[in-house]
Amino acid sequence: MNNYSKIEINLIEWFNKNKEPWFFRKDRTPYKVWISEVALHQTRINAALEPLKRFLTIYPNVHSLAKSTEEKVMNAFRGLGYYNRAKNLLRGAVYLEKYYDGIFPDTFEELIKIPSIGSYTAAAILSICFQKKIGVLDGNVKRILSRLLFIEKEINDISFIKTCEKFQNSLFSQIKLNSGDLNEAFMELGQKICTPKNPDCDNCPISDFCFAQKKNKQNILPIRKTKKENITVDWHFFILHYENKFLIQKYNSFCFLKHHWGFPSFSSFENSNENKYSFDNINELTFLKKNNYIESKSLKPIKHSITHHKITMHTNILNLNKVIKNNENLLWVNENEITKYLTASAMIKVWRAFKNN
Catalytic residues: 37
- In the bound state with ligand SF4, the residue whose beta carbon lies nearer, of 201 and 333, is 201
Q: Is residue 140 involved in binding ligand SF4 (CB under 6 A)? A: no
Report the amino acid identity of residue 310: K
Residues in contact with ligand SF4, shown as a per-residue x/- string from 184 to 223 under the rule CB under 6 A: ---------xx----x-x--x-xx--x-xx----x-----
57: phi then psi, degrees, rounded to nearest 5: -75, -40
Could you tell me the smallest distance in angstroms from the CB atom of residue 170 to ligand SF4? 17
What is the SS3 assignment for 260? strand
Site for ligand SF4 in 221-240 (CB under 6 A): none
**Beta pairing, strands 309-320 & 302-306:** antiparallel
Each residue of 211-232: b (16+ CB within 10 Å) or e? Answer: ebbeeeebeebbeeeeeeeeee
- In the bound state with ligand SF4, the residue whose beta carbon lies nearer, of 122 and 194, is 194
Could you tell me the smallest distance in angstroms from the CB atom of residue 213 to ligand SF4? 4
Q: Out of 147, 236, 250, 260, which residue is the one contacting ligand SF4 (CB under 6 A)?
A: 147
Which residues are CB-neighbours of 316 under 8 A, at least 6 positions away?
A: 236, 237, 238, 239, 296, 297, 298, 299
- In the bound state with ligand SF4, the residue whose beta carbon lies nearer, of 186 and 256, is 186
Q: From CA 105, how far away is CA 232, in angstroms rounded?
A: 46
Binding residue count for ligand SF4, defined by CB under 6 A: 14
- In the bound state with ligand SF4, the residue whose beta carbon lies nearer, of 73 and 148, is 148
Q: Is residue 66 involved in binding ligand SF4 (CB under 6 A)? A: no
34: phi then psi, degrees, rounded to nearest 5: -55, -55
Could you tell me the smallest distance in angstroms from the CB atom of residue 155 to ligand SF4? 14
Count of CA atoms in the C-beta half-sphere (13 A) of 157: 13
Q: From CA 303, how far away is CA 58, in angstroms rounded?
A: 31
Report the amino acid identity of residue 275: N
Q: Is residue 148 involved in binding ligand SF4 (CB under 6 A)? A: yes
Could you tell me the smallest distance in angstroms from the CB atom of residue 217 to ligand SF4? 9
Residues in contact with ligand SF4, shown as a per-residue x/- string from 85 to 124 under the rule CB under 6 A: ----------------------------------------
Per-residue HEC secondary structure of 309-346 comes to EEEEEEEEEEEECCCCCCECCEEEEEHHHHHHHECCHH
- In the bound state with ligand SF4, the residue whose beta carbon lies nearer, of 212 and 285, is 212
Q: Out of 96, 128, 144, 338, which residue is the one contacting ligand SF4 (CB under 6 A)?
A: 144
- Torsion-angle region of residue 202: left (phi > 0), alpha (psi -120 to 50) or beta? alpha
Contacting residues toward ligand SF4, per CB under 6 A = 144, 147-148, 193-194, 199, 201, 204, 206-207, 210, 212-213, 218
